[in-house]
Each structure stands twice: as structure tokens, then as C-alpha cells.
Amino acid sequence: MNTQEILIPVPWGHISAKTWGNPLATRVLCIHGRQDNCETFDRLIPLLHTGFYFLCIDLPGHGQSSHFGAGFRITLEHFMISLKRVVDYLKWTKFKCIGHSLGGMVAGLFAAIYPEHLDQLVMLDCAGPISIRPEDTVKSMRKVCDDLLNLENKTANRGPPSYTYEQAINLLLTKRPSKLTPESANVLVKRSLQTNSDGHYSFTTDQRMKLSYNIIQSPMQQWMVVQSIKCPLLYIWVTDNPEQKRNDVKSTRKLFKSIPNARVVRVNGNHDVHLNHPERIADLINVFFVSEKSKL
């Protein structure tokens, strides 16, 4: 399947993307997870049916896309409106979507706010979005503000760390909460690195992605968003992700189970199952995409 690189202009620079297939085919927008890049789908897409045109974007501050401007906390809302800029620029009116982790949460928010655009949605192992109790609002707002200011002070007048290529690969293999295979790490790392003057490499990911990106919302607001997702939804979660055992994440999963257009499926694997073992989810997505029903 042929691939092509494209750049989509946005007010702060550009959003980089990689396409697969025939532009005249059925459109599928693919959105990666936190601190990853669009090549997280490189091993999954070849296993999906032909007849689709896949657009895999680097979210702002990831891969080869421009960073948002400095000075503010990045949230799901910022990424969601970035998607709207992409589809408006491309003049896409209807499409399918696959989102992993952060990308799934962004896609879910987009589907709720702009339901006219989404034909079908696949959410891959999303531990959220989560809500907070109203009585915790002020404390939560204080924390996200302090975390941003502390990060800015820590990174002021200092460039990102520099690594050899082997060291960069080793970081992905040893420090990432979700373990990657060596093959998966090699797929993912290249697009997240920039070459320094000394021949070493630095990660391009915006440092603010180390902070919380969740919207501060009450349980009722969270429910209003979830029930506003009207397109057929395939919600895949995995057996080997400790985040899925948290009470707030379990509560979120129950919300998705409760909407009639969603099918919730558990598969064996860790958070990066789509990259480490794409064959475990490819058939689920293939069947879902060719189904005309809201639930399989």
C-alpha cells in the first residue's frame, strides 16, 4: 500500500500526516496516543481491508508537527479543535476514525461535538476521559496550574536531553509504562527524533505532554459527552494495562457500555497491542468497518 507525507497548515505552524491508500477510497482518520506519533499505526494498517484511505496525523507537539504556542496547559479540547482544522482544510464531511489512548479520547470528544462528521469510531485502550467530583474542582485546578508553572521553570533556558540512537531506543524499551517489542520501538522512535549538531538525537515531543491533558469536568458533564456520541462505536480495552483497573477508568468504561451504539471488547495484550500484536485487533476492526449496524 502506497504512503505519502503531507503537511496541513494551522495558525501555529503545521500538522504533519502520513497517508495510506487511494485518496478516493473511504476515509479513515487515525490519531495516536500520548507522546507517540502517527507511525504507531504502521503495523496495523497493512492488516486492515483495502478500500480505505488512511490519514494518520501527528498531533501538535508530537512527531513532525509544530508545537502549540508556549504558556498554556494543553488539553483534549486543543487537540479536538486541531482535528476540526484538519478535516475543514481537507474538506472531509464524513469519515471513520481510529484513535489510540489520548487519540481515542480526542476522537470521542470530536464525535460528541461534531457528530455529523463521524460514520464509525474505534477507540483503542482509552483510560478516560475521566471526571472529577465537583468538590475537588478548586484543588484540581490549582494542581494543573502549579504543574505547568513548575515544568516551565524546570525547562527554562535548557534544551531537551541528547541521546545516541541506541539510547533513544533503550528509553522506549525500558522507561515506557507500556512495554514495546524491539520491532515496535524501532517503528515508533524514528518520527519522534530530531538530529542535533553533534550527531545525537533529541525527542521532539512537547514537554507539556508530561502533564495532565484532561478537561476538568464533573461526572454529569462526562456523561453528557459520552451519550452525545451517536455513531457506531467499537471500544477496545486490554487485559494488561494497570490503568484499566482504576475506579475512575472503570466508571468511564461503564458509561461507554451503557450507550446503545457501542460495543465494548476486551483483548489480550498491553496498552500498545495495536503496535506489538496488531493481528489481535485487526479482524475486530475489519468486521466493524464493514458492518452497517450500530452494534455487531
- Taking the alpha carbons at both ends of the chain, their separation in whole angstroms is 28
Q: How long a stretch of residues is the chain? A: 296
Instruction: State the alpha helices, DSSP H only, in 156-209.
Output: 165-174, 182-189
101 labelled catalytic = yes
Instruction: For 197, list phi and psi in degrees, rounded to 5.
Output: -65, -25
Full DSSP string of 45-103:
GGGSPSSEEEEEEPPTTSTTSPPPPSSS---HHHHHHHHHHHHHHHT--SEEEEEETHH
Question: Which value, in Å, is the radius of gyration of the alpha carbons in the chain?
Answer: 19
* Strand pairing category for 201-203 and 193-195: antiparallel
Angle (deg, nearest 10), helices 102-113 and 76-90: 70
Three-state SS for 152? helix
Residues 122, 104: Cα–Cα separation, whole Å: 7
From 65, 101, 184, 192, the catalytic residue: 101
Instruction: For 3, list phi and psi in degrees, rounded to 5.
Output: -120, 155
Active site members:
101
